[in-house]
Amino acid sequence: MSGILPEHPMEFRELEERARHAMSPSVWSYVAGGAGDEHTQNANRAAFAHWGLVPRMLVGADRRDLSVDLFGLTLPSPLFMAPVGVLGICARDGHGDLAAARAAARTGVPLVASTLSADPLEEAAAEFGGTPGFFQLYTPTDRALAESLVHRAEKAGYAGIVVTLDTWVAGWRPRDLATSNFPQLRGHCLANYTSDPAFRALLPGGHPDDARDTALTWARIFGNPLTWDDLPWLRSLTTLPLILKGICHPDDVRRAKDYGVDGIYCSTHGGRQANGGLPALDALPAVVEAAGELPVLFDSGVRSGADIVKALALGATVVGVGRPYAYGLALGGTDGVAHVLRALLAEADLIMAVDGYPTLADLTPAALRRVCCGTGPLIDH
């Protein structure tokens, strides 16, 4: 009524375009880019257009309940912030991890904090307020360091450990290769390492004073090509819920269950790690069936509230968003992240209202129909 326009974009394409101008070219390239010719990244996005929600009327959907139980926690919504390894430098002040944690406190949307952060995990956890947070672990080859990171996360109050399985080596990323762009090798977002006594013990002299020594030491120990034989050790590190990220095959789900994991995270890393693969959304139904009673976290390609609703209908327990909130962070810090999260949830809530699905339990595969031709081309970088 007063004619005041929103400060931040209401539509993803404008959000993305404005973020491109707000970020430095190297950070933009790293966040927006994917593996190979980015076919899988685009396929992750396009997969949502192959499903349509069937409207159901006369169900009295004037009140919706989007709350969800996860690992004994009651969350106000099924949305979470997926881990982003350069979140810190997406923010203008270089403290994007803290800004995202504050947005979690403001919105009730949990953050999965990346191992690769600009501020130590303890400082991010201190900003969560009453919202739970999860710690994402890139398992290093040095077991003492892995144990130290997990125990620090436990002590800091994180609610679970998310082990990423598909990033023990960087994927083929032509955008970054063409510009020699790898932020961690330039000393960015390594605060969880430089603040860790187990990592400092690996450094020449024991101190992270030399940026080159720090980066080279990090590169040497970063990636651990885990096998099933490593799972008992990982399970033994913590009593917190253990979630495996990157699981897309039902046989892997069943085997993970045998090893006592607490949750499955179906993801193709947003198309950043491997090109030519199956869209994560297409893998989701079989993963959910194999998971049984285990919760299934999901991300890859989520850009809208409609995407969230469709992933929930295909069986995801909670749905993660990545690039959109990183773009909001670049534009407006905590306010920008909160704006993106609230917009996504508002759209999801209104779709459930209009189409007649008042609770998450009403969103089942029967609510969806395949759309044979989609809605046209979806090119999204």
- Out of 151, 269, 339, 381, the active site residue is 269
| Average pLDDT of the chain, as a whole number | 95
The whole-angstrom separation of Cα 74 and Cα 131 is: 10
The pLDDT tens digits of the residues spanning 54-64 come to: 999 999 999 99
Confirm whether 205 is domain-assigned. Answer: yes
**7 found inside a domain:** no
CATH number at residue 55: 3.20.20.70
Strands 242-245 and 79-81: unpaired
Tokens representing 351? 């779709």
Q: Which residue has the higher pLDDT, 148 or 168?
A: 148
Please check whether residue 4 lies inside any domain of the structure: no
pLDDT of residue 379: 41
Q: Is 188 a catalytic residue?
A: no
- When pLDDT is averaged across residues 95-105 and rounded to a whole number, the result is 98
- Phi and psi angles of residue 307, each rounded to the nearest 5 degrees, phi first: -60, -40
With bands split at pLDDT 50, 70 and 90, how would you rate the model's confidence at 154?
very high
Q: Is the pLDDT of residue 133 over 50?
A: yes
Residue 347's pLDDT is 98
**Does some domain include residue 5?**
no
Reading the block at residue 339, the tokens are 């704006």
Residue 319: CB atoms within 10 Å:
24
Which residue intervals of the chain are DSSP H helices?
12-22, 25-32, 39-46, 87-90, 96-107, 121-125, 143-156, 174-178, 191-194, 197-200, 211-221, 231-236, 250-258, 280-291, 305-313, 323-355
Condensed to tens digits (0 to 9), the pLDDT of residues 175-199 reads 989 888 899 999 999 999 999 999 9
Q: Residue 381's pLDDT is what?
A: 36
Mean pLDDT of 61-76: 96
Q: What is the pLDDT of residues 239-252, one digit of tens each?
A: 999 999 999 999 99
What's the CA gap between 375 and 48, in Å, rounded?
A: 10
Nearest to 247 by CA among 236, 232, 229, 261: 261
Q: How confident is the model at residue 205 (pLDDT cuts 50, 70, 90)?
A: confident
pLDDT at residue 375 tops 90: no
Q: How far apart are CA 203 and CA 199, in angstroms?
A: 7
> What percentage of residues in the chain have a pLDDT greater than 70?
98
Identify whether 199 is part of a domain.
yes
pLDDT exceeds cutoff 70 at 289? yes
Is the pLDDT at 304 greater than 50? The verdict is yes
From residue 55, give the alpha-carbon distance in Å to each of 66, 355, 367, 368, 369: 18, 4, 8, 9, 11
Decide if 371 is inside a domain: no
pLDDT average, residue stretch 363-378? 77
- 247: three-class secondary structure by DSSP: coil
Residue 233 has pLDDT above 50, yes or no: yes
Does a structural domain hold residue 373? Answer: no
Q: Is the pLDDT of residue 92 over 60?
A: yes
Domain annotation covers residue 138: yes
- Which of 210-219, 257-266, 289-298, 328-337 has the weakest average pLDDT? 210-219
**pLDDT tens digits, residue range 29-54?**
999 999 999 999 999 999 999 999 99
Q: How far apart are CA 242 and CA 245, in angstroms?
A: 10
How would residue 380 be classed by pLDDT, with cut points 50, 70 and 90? Answer: very low
Return d(Cα 31, Cα 91) in angstroms, integer: 12
Residue 280 lies in domain: 12-364
Q: For the chain, what is the domain count?
A: 1
Phi-psi region of 58 (alpha: psi -120 to 50; beta: other; left: phi over 0): left
Residue 373 has pLDDT above 80, yes or no: no
- Return the structure tokens found at 203: 């450094």
